[in-house]
Each structure stands twice: as C-alpha cells, then as structure tokens.
C-alpha cells in the first residue's frame, strides 16, 4: 500500500482543510478525474476525492470538511493529522469518471453542492486541459460556506466557475431547471449531499437531459442498505471452497471469517473498494456505486452489502 507524507494543510473554507500529499518514494500512481483514495488513519479508513490536476503524479490534493455528525474520520484529520505525518493511502479508484471521448462534441456541466465540488474540480482540470467546454456551478447557502474559493480562483479555468447562493435566492430548491439545457454531446455530473443530488437529477430529467448522460457520485447512501435476506452459499472460484452466508451475515463477513482477503472501506456500498467479479450466479445488488446498467450486467458485486438471488454465488477470488 502506498505511503504519503502530509506536505501542507491549509484552511480552505468553513471547517474545510485543503491537504497536499506527497509520495514518500516514486511518483503516485496515475489517476483520472473523478477518482478517490482511501486514507488509513489508524483503525479508521475513509475515502476522499482527488481534486488536483490528474496529470500531476508528484502530489495529490484532497479537501476534508469536518462533519460533527460524521463517522469520525474528518475529526481525526482536523484534530490529529499534522504536516510531516506519514500515512497509508490506497491506490486510486474511479467509479465516477468523465464519460465523453476526445472527439465528442458538446460540453461538460458540473453541479457541486458544498464539499461535493472536490471530484468536479479534477474534471474541470481535465476538460480544460483537453479543450472541452466546461462550466462548474458551485452551490451553498452563503458565500462563506463555499469551499475552496481561493483555490478555484487560482485555476486558469476559473472564469468558467459560477457561484450560486441560496441566501440570494439562487438555489436548486427553488430553480425550475438546471443551469444549462441539454444539447447533443453534453454530459452532466453532480456531486453533493443526497437532497442536492436528488433535486438536481429531478430537474435534469424534467428538462430533457437523457438519463445516460446524467452522472452522480454520493458521499453517503440514499438510505442505509438492507443487509439481511435469504441464506445462500458463496464459492471462491480459485479454490472451489464454498461457505454458507446466513440471513444476517454479509458476504464480506463470511469470507473474512474464513481467511479470504477482502478489501473493505466504506462498508455502505458507495465506495467500490469491495466490488468483485461474478463468475456464476445472480447478485442481489444493494450498492449505490454501480449504475443501473452495471447492476443489470451482473458482472460485479459489492461484498459489503449485496447478497445473492441464486442459491450460490461464485466469485472471481
């Protein structure tokens, strides 16, 4: 697992830290816009989107908002992490990539609710670098709650950033449409709190945006996944070993109990760390990281929360 050194920590808005990580040895692995990493903070593992220029392998940038009602990761970072500390990080994973091709016309529209701006900044960087038309819309209640304003102002594409403040009557809650109407080749990316995402998706659909060009990333599940269900068996393809998964067990718990290595992180079905290939059987998908089309394909399953619709599920492990 890569190691990273905390090179700098800068206040970047109300309760927000902009953190620059540097590799301890060779450059970091290559990344694409929309990717996130895990930070291993003792027993706590949390996911953070990479917001810097994806082409810069010499540093990674993340932004962490302190959440009073969170699960403890942001509090550890704000109160215990310091410049010079070395921490374990995962390689990058990306379940929220830019979908357009280099020769595709149209534009990229980015809608950010609060700290949800982080993966969208990297998307704006990548679009600007390739010459694609891009606009980043940042939403908050008041200007003081907009994270990373100084960082955004420093970017060469900052004229393509638009601020929306509900205190001034500019809110998705009262809007009748998303800021741009759809034209062929356009893509829409949305990240932020659940209510913000749901409202933006509703407005986009009502405004004629096709569902397959509207992409979202959630920092929390819409609802906690229901983990229980009918019992079944899970088989490890490489060994042929099969294990019983009881009504109140998860696949990940059963595999770990039998010494089968499973990568876990959020354990809520939103990060993709535990997505595993399916060799045989039909998963009962309960994650929110895969798209409806990916669920229908049944080629991967989230071991932390999903189950099986068939009596046995064989995994590519």
Average pLDDT score over residue span 99-114:
87
Provide the token pair at 225.
Answer: 């996944």
pTM (2 d.p.): 0.83
Residues across the chain: 317
* DSSP result, 7-73: EEEEE-STTEEEEEEEESSSPPPP--TT-EEEEEETTEEEEEE--S-TT-TT-EEEEEE--TTS-SH
pLDDT confidence of residue 69: 67
Q: Is 178 helix (H, G, I), strand (E, B) or coil?
A: coil
Give the residue from 205, 151, 169, 161 showing the smallest Cα distance to 8: 151
Q: Tell which wins on pLDDT, 191 or 261.
A: 191
Q: Domains in the chain, start-ordered, CATH in brackets?
A: 3-93 (2.40.30.10), 108-217 (3.40.50.80), 232-315 (3.10.20.30)
Nearest to 164 by CA among 155, 175, 176: 175
213-229 pLDDT, tens digit each: 999 998 777 777 888 89
Q: Which residue has the higher pLDDT, 105 or 181?
A: 181
The helix/strand/coil state of 208 is coil
Please report which helix (H) or strand (E) contains residue 139, including its range: strand 133-140
pLDDT at 70 over 80: no
- Mean predicted confidence (pLDDT) in 201-217: 94
Residue with structure tokens 């989230």?
A: 302
Residue matched to tokens 């986009």: 204
Task: Measure Cα distances from 93 to 1, 243, 270, 286 in Å.
Answer: 13, 29, 12, 20
């Amino acid at each position: 697992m890569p190691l990273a050194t905390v090179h700098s920590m800068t206040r970047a808005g109300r309760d927000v830290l902009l953190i620059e990580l540097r590799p301890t040895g060779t450059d970091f692995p290559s990344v694409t816009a929309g990717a996130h990493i895990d930070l291993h903070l003792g027993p706590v593992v949390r996911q953070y989107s990479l917001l810097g220029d994806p082409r810069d392998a010499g540093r990674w940038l993340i932004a962490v908002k302190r959440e009073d009602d969170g699960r403890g990761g942001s509090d550890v970072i704000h109160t215990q992490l310091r410049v010079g500390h070395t921490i374990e990080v995962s390689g990058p994973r990306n379940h929220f990539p830019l979908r357009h091709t280099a020769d595709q016309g149209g534009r990229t529209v980015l809608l950010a609710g609060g700290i949800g701006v982080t993966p969208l900044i990297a998307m704006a960087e990548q679009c600007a670098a390739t010459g694609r038309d891009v606009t980043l819309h940042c939403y908050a209640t008041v200007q003081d709650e907009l994270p990373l304003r100084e960082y955004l102002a420093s970017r060469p594409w900052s004229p393509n950033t638009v601020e929306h403040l509900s205190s001034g009557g500019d809110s998705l809650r009262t809007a009748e449409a998303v800021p741009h109407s759809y034209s062929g080749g356009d893509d829409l990316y949305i990240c932020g709190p659940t209510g913000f995402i749901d409202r933006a998706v509703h407005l986009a659909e009502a405004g004629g945006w096709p569902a397959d060009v509207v992409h979202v990333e959630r920092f929390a599940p819409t609802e906690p996944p229901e983990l229980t269900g009918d019992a079944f068996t899970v088989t490890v393809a490489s060994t042929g070993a099969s294990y019983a998964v009881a009504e109140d067990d998860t696949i990940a718990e059963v595999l770990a109990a039998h010494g089968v290595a499973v990568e876990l992180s959020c354990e809520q079905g939103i990060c993709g760390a535990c997505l595993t290939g399916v060799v045989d059987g039909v998963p009962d998908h309960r994650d929110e990281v895969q798209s409806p089309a990916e669920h229908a394909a049944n080629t991967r399953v989230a071991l932390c929360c999903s189950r099986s619709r068939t009596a046995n599920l064989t995994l590519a492990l």
